[in-house]
Amino acid sequence: MLPLIFLASLLALPADTFGAPTDVVPVSGQAISLLRRNQYPRDVTEWGTFAKSQRDNLIAKYGGPVKQKRSTGYNSIIDQQYDSSYYGSLAIGTPAVSFDVKLDTGSSDFWLAGPSCGTSCGSVSIYNPSSSSTFQNLSTSFSIVYGSGSAEGYVAQDTVQMAGFSVSSQGFAVVDAVSQGLLASPVSGFLGLAWQSLASSGQMPLWQTLASNNVWDSALFAVRLTRYKNDSTAQDLEPGGVLNMGYTNSSLYTGSIDYIDITGTPSYWYIPLTSLTVQGNSISIDSGTTAAIDTGTTNIGGPASSVQAIYAQIPNSQPATGEWEGYYSFPCSTTVNVEVSFGGATWSISPVDFAFTQTNSTECIGAFFETSTGTGSPSWIFGDTFLKNVYSVFRYNPPSVGFANLSSVAVAENGAGGAVPSATIGTISAAVTNTSDAPRRHALSALSTLLFLAFSAVLFL
Ligand SMILES: *[C@@H]1O[C@H](CO)[C@@H](O)[C@H](O)[C@H]1NC(C)=O
Ligand SMILES: *[C@@H]1O[C@H](CO)[C@@H](O)[C@H](O)[C@H]1NC(C)=O
Ligand SMILES: *[C@@H]1O[C@H](CO)[C@@H](O)[C@H](O)[C@H]1NC(C)=O
Ligand SMILES: *[C@@H]1O[C@H](CO)[C@@H](O)[C@H](O)[C@H]1NC(C)=O
Ligand SMILES: *[C@@H]1O[C@H](CO)[C@@H](O)[C@H](O)[C@H]1NC(C)=O
Ligand SMILES: *[C@@H]1O[C@H](CO)[C@@H](O)[C@H](O)[C@H]1NC(C)=O
């Protein structure tokens, strides 16, 4: 989901002012207590991994050889409301508590509903700062406006665990108010997966902390999103695919990954949009047109003139009205084939995804809608309608977005049903337990931890 107020990030102070987290530290080797979920079940192999990681952590902590060992991890995604939204899970605080968060490559802030949120956050689980011994209040205000809502609160830091990685002093926001409809239970907040320069909080996003600290085998993350809109037996929550951190899973795609460098300074994951065809006919695209690749947006938004040109290729389509303003209706009996290119290979969007929803027995609403974005923002937003059709890779260095065809294994996961995955915080396997590239920061953060502990001790006496 794209934050509307790009201005906010321009006004934000440089990250260093807030002390962007760069230290990645070992967790203590204890099982994470997941308050709302079943404890991660361990089999013998997992106990082995656990034992090994505990030993590695101790070696790192007590002055053994500093190994710059890298690792990978994954997070199971959940498909919410028939491909409307995709969320994952992480754990935060000490003791760690797990939360479901919308995975959003179209924004860069991580935030969770806080104790003051009250009714505006509905019945979602709340992050409670007073229950975490590692909570640090940065006491700066936070506010973000997305295309479909807004959130505000204050900026803080805490230890965050996700996909087997742990980051101490990860910046995020505790939210006091959200606009209605932004959070759909059980989702408690957003995990922004775009670049720091876009963060309203000024904080470095979790993924970027991990990538820039060389924690990952490969400095990239990848996303595979399932399709359930096509399944008449689909439930409100279904297995949604996976977020791979530090690697690409070659079982999920075929051929090679076609990487396109991102346009300009990294902020959004934006790449050139070079070609768009509907029913085999080209839609004219201005040169220099860019598209943001956005897991947090359900559909595909583009400039009014281009969207009109798309529906002009579909007989009997017409602008929709009322709450559907900006969308178009078309006869459901028409199979619409769209192909898109970002400068490299050409990718197809399934007609099933193009037909976003049906309003009566014959009329469908198309997934492409008219939108206008601000200057400096990409003019197109490619959301889940497109992403369900490919394996997507978000690469740190060189900054680029890659796509590959889905494998038959991946395609078979569409509509396959089965249990909704529980929180996959994972057994912490982060091989890098100390960052030697930022010793000064590390020392400072150790000092602040000591001060914090001393302060807490005073409070508890
Ligand atoms: C953190 O700081 C903000 C701004 O000063 C304040 O409103 C909030 O109550 C503080 N939170 C906690 C848990 O102390
Ligand atoms: C839609 O669902 C049907 C029946 O499950 C399946 O055969 C077909 O491949 C699906 N289409 C897409 C594009 O996923
Ligand atoms: C790769 O994907 C396949 C298919 O979903 C899965 O069975 C396998 O565990 C995955 N491997 C890794 C390392 O993620
Ligand atoms: C479906 O909705 C469209 C637009 O509102 C209308 O023109 C059409 O007559 C409706 N069809 C049926 C079968 O109700
Ligand atoms: C993806 O699959 C399509 C259909 O099989 C094929 O035509 C195309 O060349 C493939 N693209 C890449 C980049 O492998
Ligand atoms: C982390 O690495 C730095 C540089 O190698 C070293 O000076 C420091 O003692 C290490 N800290 C820990 C906790 O291992």
353: in domain: yes
- Split into its structural domains, the chain has a count of 2
Q: Which residues are catalytic?
A: 104, 294
Residue 26 near residue 430 (C-beta atoms within 8 A): yes
Pair 431, 370 in one domain = no
CA 309 to ligand 6 centroid distance, Å:
59
Pair 18, 154 in one domain = yes
What CATH code is carried by the domain that includes residue 50?
Answer: 2.40.70.10
Tell me the residue range of the domain where 106 lies: 2-221+423-459
228: in domain: no
Pair 21, 88 in one domain = yes
Q: Is the CB of 252 under 6 A from ligand 3?
A: yes
CA 390 to ligand 5 centroid distance, Å:
10
242: in domain: no
97: in domain: yes
Q: Is the CB of 61 under 6 A from ligand 6?
A: yes
Pair 199, 258 in one domain = no
183: in domain: yes
- The one-letter code for the residue type at 357 is T
Pair 138, 46 in one domain = yes
User: 409-430, pLDDT tens digit by residue?
Assistant: 999 999 999 899 887 776 665 4
CA 114 to ligand 6 centroid distance, Å:
34
Pair 216, 286 in one domain = no
Pair 403, 428 in one domain = no
Whose CA is closest to atom 12 on ligand 3?
249
Pair 377, 449 in one domain = no
Which pair of structure tokens corresponds to residue 389? Answer: 């059709």
- Ligand closest in space to the Cα of 71: 3
Whose CA is closest to atom 1 on ligand 2?
230
Q: Is the CB of 446 under 6 A from ligand 6?
A: no
418: in domain: no
Pair 140, 282 in one domain = no
239: in domain: no
Pair 54, 159 in one domain = yes
CA 359 to ligand 4 centroid distance, Å:
8
Pair 295, 319 in one domain = yes
pTM confidence score: 0.81
Tens digits of pLDDT across the chain (461 residues):
777 533 333 323 233 222 223 333 333 333 332 232 333 334 444 444 544 555 455 444 444 433 446 899 999 999 999 999 999 999 999 999 999 999 999 999 999 999 999 899 989 999 999 999 999 999 999 999 998 899 999 999 999 999 999 999 999 999 999 999 899 999 999 999 999 999 999 999 999 999 998 999 999 999 999 999 989 999 999 999 999 999 999 999 999 999 999 988 999 999 999 999 999 999 999 989 999 999 999 999 999 999 999 999 999 999 999 999 999 999 999 999 999 999 999 999 999 999 999 999 999 999 999 998 877 789 999 999 999 999 999 999 999 999 999 999 999 999 999 899 887 776 665 433 323 233 333 333 333 333 333 333 333 33
- Ligand closest in space to the Cα of 409: 3
Pair 215, 315 in one domain = no
- The one-letter code for the residue type at 64 is G
User: 7-23, pLDDT tens digit by residue?
Assistant: 333 323 233 222 223 33
230: in domain: no
